Each structure stands twice: as C-alpha cells, then as structure tokens.
C-alpha cells in the first residue's frame, strides 16, 4: 500500500486543499487501508487529468490560424459574445472542456473523501474544512455556468457579455488554482450563507431568512443590491426564489391559499399541505452547496421558460441580475477612466 500523502506533487491543489486532503487520506488509510488505496488511485487519476489541463497551450498565446486570422484571448472573447447557448460547446477551447471535466472529477474526489470520513470517527474540524472545499468547488462550477448564461444571453448588452466572457477566459486559463472567491467574492459569500440556510417561510416576507443571511455572509453586496429602492419588481421576485428555494409560481399560489385559508404564518410542512407535496419545484430537502446548485439550475430553467413564453415572474435568476449589474458598472467604470500616461 502506498502511504497516504506520499504523492507530494499536488500542483493542482492550493495550500488549504493540500492540507485537508493529506489529513483525510492519512486518517482513512490508517483506519481502512484498502479504502485508502482506492482513494489514492482516484487521486492519481485526478492528477493525470490536471496534468492534461495544465499542458494544453493557453488560448492567450496568439498564433496564425489556417486562414491567416490571428487567434488570441480577445478573439475568443469576441467569439463567445456571438455564440448561442445551443452550440456553445463547439466554440470553447479544449482547455476549457477538459477543465470542466477536471472540476467535476475534483468535486467527486472530495465527496469520496467525505463519504469515507463519515464512516470514521473523524474530527469535526476536518470534516467541516472538507465540506468547505467541496462547497468552493461547486460554487466555482456554479459561477462558470452563471457567466455562460450571461455571455449567451441574446439580450445582454455587448459590454456585459464581453465582461462575462473575460471572466470565463480567466477561469479557463487558470483552472487548477482559481476559485470562486478569487473573481466573485460577493456571490461566494451569498452562496455560502444560503447553503447553510433552511428557510422558515413564516409570513413569506423573508425577514428571518434575510437576517440570517446577513449574519452568515462575509460580503453583503449581493444582499444589499436587493435592498436598493430602485430594484425592479421582477428582480425582487427572483430574490424571493433565491431566499425561499421555491419557484415564483409556488410562492404566488402559496400566498393565495394562505389568504383563502385565513393563515398568516406557515411552516414548510404547512406549505406542502396547502400547495401539495408532489410539487416538482419544492426546494431540495438537504442543505449545502449541492442543494444550492440544484436550486440554481431549477430557477434558471424556470426563468428561461418565462422569458421565452412571456409568463409573469422573474426572467433571470437573482444571481444573474446581480452579476449583470456588477458587470455593467465595471464596464462603465472602464469607459470613464482615462488612459494612464506613460
């Protein structure tokens, strides 16, 4: 059996990840050597995948295409801005495709470590740190999908699409070590806080949920955005979906049924009784980053459907509204800043 932690060339982990992985593997290998061997094999394959991502030339290195047209980071940004969500996969570089696969493999490896530690009497501090690393990786995937949704939005402003495309390029360029808090700390703070929250519903005003999010989030910009008096109604409805983990349609129906039943305050169980326990858009039962990712995907699909059909309700997710606003502000700041004199 290879000793846990003997593979020191973990160029694809940052210091925090390296420490957590080494401690987890040591604990697992000491308790169940055969399981440690299995995980070492998974880690070896993850290293191979990471090496592939690392060794693929960067799109930022310009070269002449067969037709003579130079290819560079900016030409990739331009191509992404003109791509649709239907065939985006055919417009992104190989480094990005393999990088996406690597991120899934990394998440799966961390989850395998978590499963193995759950069978042991592992220190709570180690389990919590591993959970944090899983969350950061899932949130990084979520952020990438968020930027993809913006760059493929036919109605987004060109400057906003270009800003999203540049974020995507940075993610793809430095895939192995970049994490969501490196480029979208406001989103990461909101997602971390929301992943810990199980909504109470109550009067459906969201007071308790918002208070708890402010307590948990280390960066309040995402939450403060929806507190601005100029935020449009559709954006507030998207924030309600984010807050309660329910679709706009379910929230609306629940309010109607509460009024009809003369009920002013409901629990999750009460809400299921009023609306129906088989409703497909109920929030995931579990908490955590994977449940948050599931919630985002469902909200995104439902918002896109409303946008196509003209149905009432938010046409984007809360995260899209916030990031579009940030990108628009960043583009405006860039235009208003005079070039520096050499």
| Mean confidence (pLDDT) of the chain | 86
Whether residue 11 is predicted with pLDDT greater than 80 in this model: the reply is yes
What's this model's pTM, rounded to 2 decimal places? 0.87
Q: What is the mean pLDDT of residues 126-154?
A: 95
Q: How many Å apart are CA 49 and CA 301, to the nearest integer?
A: 31
Q: How many Å apart are CA 147 and CA 300, to the nearest integer?
A: 12
* Angle separating helix axes 94-118 and 124-151, nearest 10 degrees: 150
Q: How many Å apart are CA 188 and CA 143, to the nearest integer?
A: 9
C-alpha dist (Å) from residue 245 to 206, 297, 329: 11, 11, 28
Nearest to 150 by CA among 320, 319, 310, 314: 320
Whether residue 162 is predicted with pLDDT greater than 60 in this model: the reply is yes
What confidence category does residue 284 fall into, taking pLDDT thresholds of 50, 70 and 90? low
Q: What is the mean pLDDT of residues 94-109?
A: 96
Nearest to 39 by CA among 28, 50, 52: 28
Chain-centroid distance, C-alpha 151: 16
Give 157's contacts (C-beta < 8 A, 6+ positions apart): 328, 331
116-120, 254-258, 263-267, 336-340: which is most confident: 116-120
pLDDT tens across 183-239, in order?
889 999 999 888 888 777 777 777 778 878 888 888 899 999 998 888 999 999 999
Nearest to 243 by CA among 262, 217, 264: 217
Nearest to 165 by CA among 175, 153, 176, 177: 153
pLDDT tens across 234-249, in order?
999 999 999 888 899 9
- The span from the first CA to the last CA of the chain, in angstroms, equals 60
As a whole-number percent, the residues of the chain with pLDDT over 90 amount to 55
pLDDT tens across 15-43, in order?
999 999 999 999 999 999 999 999 999 99
Nearest to 323 by CA among 179, 142, 90: 142
Whether residue 313 is predicted with pLDDT greater than 90 in this model: the reply is yes
pLDDT of residue 64: 46
pLDDT of residue 173: 92
Q: What is the mean pLDDT of residues 275-303?
A: 78
Query: Is the Cβ–Cβ distance between 241 and 248 less than 8 Å?
Result: yes
pLDDT tens across 36-90, in order?
999 999 999 999 999 999 999 886 654 444 445 556 778 888 889 988 888 888 8
What confidence category does residue 278 fall into, taking pLDDT thresholds of 50, 70 and 90? low
What confidence category does residue 124 fall into, taking pLDDT thresholds of 50, 70 and 90? very high
pLDDT of residue 337: 54
pLDDT tens across 170-185, in order?
999 999 989 988 888 9
């Amino acid at each position: 059996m290879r000793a846990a932690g003997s593979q020191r060339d973990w160029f694809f982990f940052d210091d925090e990840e390296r420490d957590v992985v080494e401690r987890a593997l040591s604990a697992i290998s000491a308790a169940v050597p055969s399981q440690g061997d299995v995980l070492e094999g998974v880690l070896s394959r993850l290293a191979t995948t990471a090496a592939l991502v690392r060794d693929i030339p960067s799109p930022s290195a310009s070269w002449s295409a067969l037709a003579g047209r130079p290819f560079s980071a900016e030409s990739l940004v331009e191509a992404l801005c003109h791509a649709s969500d239907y065939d985006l996969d055919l417009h992104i570089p190989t480094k990005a495709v393999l990088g996406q696969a690597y991120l899934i493999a990394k998440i799966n490896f961390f989850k395998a470590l978590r499963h193995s530690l759950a069978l042991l009497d592992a220190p709570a501090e180690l389990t919590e740190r591993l959970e944090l690393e899983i969350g950061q990786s899932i949130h990084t995937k979520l952020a990438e999908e968020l930027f993809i949704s913006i760059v493929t939005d036919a109605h987004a402003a060109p400057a906003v699409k270009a800003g999203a495309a540049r974020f995507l390029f940075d993610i793809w360029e430095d895939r192995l070590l970049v994490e969501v808090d490196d480029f979208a700390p406001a989103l990461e703070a909101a997602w971390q806080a929301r992943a810990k929250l199980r909504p109470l519903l109550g009067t459906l005003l969201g007071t308790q949920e918002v208070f708890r999010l402010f307590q948990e989030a280390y960066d309040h910009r995402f939450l403060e955005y929806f507190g601005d008096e100029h935020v449009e109604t559709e954006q507030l409805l998207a924030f309600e979906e984010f807050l309660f983990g329910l679709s706009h349609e379910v929230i609306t129906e629940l309010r109607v049924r509460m009024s009809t039943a003369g009920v002013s305050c409901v629990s999750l169980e009460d809400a299921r009784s009023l609306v129906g326990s088989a409703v497909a858009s109920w929030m995931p039962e579990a908490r955590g980053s994977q449940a948050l990712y599931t919630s985002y995907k469902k909200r995104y699909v439902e918002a896109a459907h409303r946008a196509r059909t003209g149905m009432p309700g938010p046409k984007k997710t809360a995260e899209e509204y916030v990031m579009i606003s940030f990108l628009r502000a960043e583009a405006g700041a860039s235009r208003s800043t005079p070039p520096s004199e050499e």
